A and B are shown apart, each in its own frame.
Chain A
Amino acid sequence: MNIMIREMKANLKSLLIWSIGVLAMVIAGMGKYAGMKGTGQTMNELMAEMPKSLQAIMGTSGFDLATALGFYGLLYLYLIVMASIHAVMLGANIIAKEERDKTAEFLLVKPVSRAKVISMKLLTALIHIVLFNLVTLLSSIIMVERFAEAETVTDGLLLLMSGMFILQLIFLLLGSVVAAVYRKSKKASVISTGIMLVLFILSILINMTEKIEMLKYITPFKYFEAATILNNGKLEPVFLFLSVFLILAFTTLTYRFYQKKDLNL
C-alpha cells in the first residue's frame, strides 16, 4: 500500500499536466467546431467517392464534419496519441525509475517480493490512466453535448473512450515490458516512446495505400478508429481480441522479466 501511495504522489504532477493538456485540446478543438459549422456539407457526397489515400491527404478521412460527433472523430486521433504517449512513458518510467534514480536497492531490500512491487506500481499506473481517461471523457461529453443538435453523443463517446482506454492499457504495458527487459534504465522511456512513434507513423502509412492493409494488425493505432467505431456502433471484435491478447502477454512478460532482472545499479 505504501508503494502505491508513494507512486501516486510521484506521478501526480505529470498526470496533472497531461490532464490540463487533454482538457485544453478538447476545449480548443470543439471550440473550433463552432466556427466551422455549416461548411463542408455539400462535400460529403463527393468525399464518399474519394479513394482512401486521397482522403487521408486532404485530411478528412470519412468523417461527417457537419455534425459535432463527426468533428470530434477528427480530434479523437490526437487524443489517443496524447493518451498513448502518457501511458507509454508512465509504464516505462514507473518501472525504470528505481534504477535510474538509484533507489532500487532501497526499495528491493524491503520485505516485499518483486512481484508485489510490480503489482503495486502497475495498479497505480492503472489508476492514473483511468483518471486521464475520465478527464477526457467528461470534458468530451460536456463539449460535444454543447454543440450537438438533436443527436445522441454520449453512447458514441463512451465507445470511443473505451477504445482509448484499451489503447492506454496496451501502451502502458508496452512501456513496462521495455523497462523490465532492457538493461539500461535511462534508455527505457526513449526506446518505448520510439516504438510508439514508429507504430504511429506506420498507422499513417497504412492510410495511404491498400497494399499494406495487412499491417493494421501490428499497430494498435489502427485498432480503434473513430470512423469505424462511430459507423458500426461497436468496437471491432478482432481487434478487441488482439488487444486482450497483447495486454495479457505484456503483463506476463513484465512480471517474468522483472522478477529475474539483473538490476543495473
Chain B
Amino acid sequence: MNMYLHELKAYRKSTIIWTLSLIAIVVLFMSLFPAFSRDAEDFMKVLEGFPEEVKKAIGLSFDTLATILGYFSYAFLYIKLCGAIQAMNLGLSIFSKESRDKTAEFLFTKPVTRTQVMTAKLLACFTSLILTNLAFILAVLGTVSMVKTEEYSGKALLMISGSLLFLQLIFLGLGVFLAVLLPKVKSVIAVSLGTVFAFFMIGMISSSTDDEALRFFTPFNYVNDYYIIEHLRFETSFLLVGAVIIILSVLTSFLVYRKKDIHSV
C-alpha cells in the first residue's frame, strides 16, 4: 500500500499535465468544428454538380467523415498519439527508475517481494491511466455536445473515446516489458517516443493505403473509429490481439522481473 501511494504521488504531476494536454487537444480541435462543418456544407453543394459515379466513389466515406463523429475521429488520432506516449512513458519510467535513480537498494532491502513491488507499481499506473481517461471522456462529452450541429450517437462517441484506455493499456504493457527487459534505460522519453512514433507511422501508412494485414502490427489501428460509427461495435479479432499483447507483456514482465539482476550502483 505504501509503495502504491508513493508511486501515485510521484506521478501525480505528470498525470495532471498529460490529462490537461489531452483535454486541451480535444477542446482546440472541437472548437474548430463549426468552421469545418460550414466548409463541409459548401462542398456538398459543389459535389451535387458532379456526375453520379464520382459522388458514389467519394460519397460513402465523406458522409461519415463530415459529421461531428467523423471529425472527432480525426482529432482522436492525435489524442491517441499523445495518450500512447503518456502510457508508454509511465510504464517505462516506473520500472526503470529504481536503478536509474539509484534507489533500488533502498526499495529491495525492504521486506517485500519483487512480485509485491511490481503489483503495487502496476496498480499505480493503472489508477493514473483510469483517472486520465475519466477526465478525458468527461471533457469529450462536454465539448462535443457544446459544438454539435446535428444529433449524433452518444454510444459511438463513448466507444471511440473509451478505446483510448485500451490503447494506453497496450502501450503501458509494452513500456513495462521494455523497462524490465533492458538492463538500464538512460533516457525514458527517447525510447518511448521512438517506439510510439514508429507504431504511429505504421498506422498512418496502413490507413492511407487501406492495408488490413498491416493493421495487426500497430495498436493504433486495432480500433477503427469509422467502423464503430457505422456498426456501433468493436472488431473482435483486433480486440483479442490487443488483449493478448497486454496479458503477455504483463505476465512475462512479472516472470523476468522476479529474477532480474538489478544494478544499484
Residues of A near any B CB (own CB < 8 A)? 14, 17-18, 21, 25, 28-29, 32, 35-36, 42-43, 46, 49-54, 56-59, 74, 78, 81-82, 85, 89, 93, 100-101, 189-190, 193, 197, 201, 204-205, 208-211
List, in ascending order, chain B residues with CB within 8 A of A42's CB: 54, 57
CA distance A93 to B190 in the complex (A): 10
**Complex formed: what's the CA distance from A82 to B204 in Å?**
13
**Cα–Cα, bound, A29→B205 (Å):** 7
Query: Chain B: residues with CB nearer than 8 A to chain A?
Result: 25, 28-29, 32, 35-36, 39-40, 42-43, 46-47, 50, 54, 57-58, 61-62, 65-66, 70-71, 74, 78, 82, 85, 186-187, 189-190, 193-194, 197-198, 201-202, 204-205, 207-209, 211
- Provide the residues of chain B in CB contact with A50, threshold 8 Å: 43
Evaluate contact between B25 and A201: CB separation under 8 angstroms: yes
- Which residues on the A side are within 8 Å of B54 (C-beta)? 42-43, 46
**Beta-carbon contact of B197 and A82 below 8 Å:** yes
Q: Are A35 and B209 in contact (CB under 8 A)?
A: yes
Contact between B29 and A89, CB atoms less than 8 A apart? no
On chain B, the residues within 8 Å of A205 by CB distance are 28-29, 32
Main secondary structure of the interface of A (DSSP, over half): helix
- Once bound together, how far apart are the Cα atoms of A183 and B113, in whole Å? 37
- On whether the beta carbons of B209 and A32 are closer than 8 Å, the reply is yes
Chain B residues whose CB sits within 8 angstroms of the CB of A52 once the complex forms? 39
- State A28–B201 Cα separation when bound (angstroms): 11
Smallest CB–CB gap between B175 and chain A, Å?
Answer: 15
In-complex Cβ contact of A89 among B193, B202, B207 (8 A): B193
B70 x A57 contact (CB < 8 A):
yes
Shortest Cβ distance from A205 into B: residue = B28
Report if A189-B190 is in contact (Cβ < 8 Å); known contacts: A46-B54, A57-B70, A209-B32.
yes
The answer to whether A193 touches B71, judged by C-beta atoms less than 8 angstroms apart, is no
Q: Tell me which residues across on chain A come within 8 A of B205, comparing CB atoms.
A: 28-29, 32
Instruction: Give me 17 A-to-B residue pairs in the complex whose CB atoms sit less than 8 angstroms apart, sorted by A's number.
Output: A53-B32, A53-B39, A57-B74, A58-B65, A59-B207, A78-B201, A81-B197, A89-B189, A93-B187, A100-B186, A189-B187, A189-B190, A197-B82, A201-B78, A201-B82, A209-B32, A211-B35
Q: How far is the CB of A261 from chain B (nearest CB, A)?
A: 20
Complex contact B208–A74 (CB within 8 A):
yes
* CB <8 Å contact, B32 and A208: yes
A182 to B239, CA, bound (A): 43
Q: Which residues of B contact A18 (CB under 8 A)?
A: 194
Q: Which chain A positions have C-beta within 8 A of B198?
A: 21
Nearest-neighbor residue (CB-CB) of A58 within chain B: B65
Contact between A43 and B58 (Cβ–Cβ < 8 Å)?
yes
Task: Give complex CA distance A209, B61 in Å.
Answer: 21
Interfacial chain A residues near B204, Cβ < 8 Å: 78
A14 close to B43 (CB less than 8 A): no
A81-B197, A205-B29, A208-B32 known; A54-B40 Cβ under 8 A: yes
Partner of A54, one of B66, B78, B189: B66
Residues of chain B contacted by A58 (CB below 8 angstroms): 61-62, 65
Contact B61 A51 (CB under 8 A): no
CB atoms of A59 and B208 under 8 A apart: yes
Alpha-carbon distance A83/B79, docked complex (angstroms): 21
Q: Is the CB of A49 within 8 A of B209?
A: no
| Closest Cβ neighbor of B50 among chain A residues | A46
The answer on a CB contact under 8 Å between B35 and A53 is yes
New contact pairs (11) apart from A29-B205, A46-B50, CB-CB < 8 Å:
A42-B57, A50-B43, A53-B32, A54-B39, A54-B66, A58-B61, A74-B208, A82-B201, A89-B190, A89-B193, A201-B28
Determine the distance from Cα of A209 to Cα of B82 in the docked complex, in whole angstroms: 22
Question: By the criterion CB–CB under 8 Å, are A85 and B78 in contact?
Answer: no
- By beta carbon, the residue of chain A nearest B197 is A85
A210 to B57, CA, bound (A): 27
Q: CA A52 – CA B25 in complex, angstroms?
A: 20
Nearest CB on A from B8, distance (A): 20
Decide if B194 touches A17 in the complex (CB within 8 Å). yes
Q: Among the listed B36, B43, B209, which residue makes an inter-chain contact with A36, where contact means beta carbons less than 8 Å apart?
A: B209
CB-nearest residue of chain B to A50: B43
Q: Which of A28, A85, A100, A101 is B193 in contact with, Cβ under 8 Å? A: A85
A24 to B182, CA, bound (A): 23
Q: Choose among B40, B62, B201 the residue with the greatest number of A CB atoms under 10 Å from its CB.
A: B201
Residue of A nearest to B206 (CB): A32
Q: How far is the CA of A46 from the CA of B53 in the complex (A)?
A: 12
Name the CB-closest residue of A to B207.
Answer: A59
In the assembled complex, how far is the CB of residue B72 from the closest CB belonging to chain A, in whole angstroms?
A: 11
The residues of A that contact B47 with a CB separation of less than 8 Å are 46
With A189-B187, A205-B28, A209-B35 in contact, do A51 and B57 touch (Cβ < 8 Å)? no
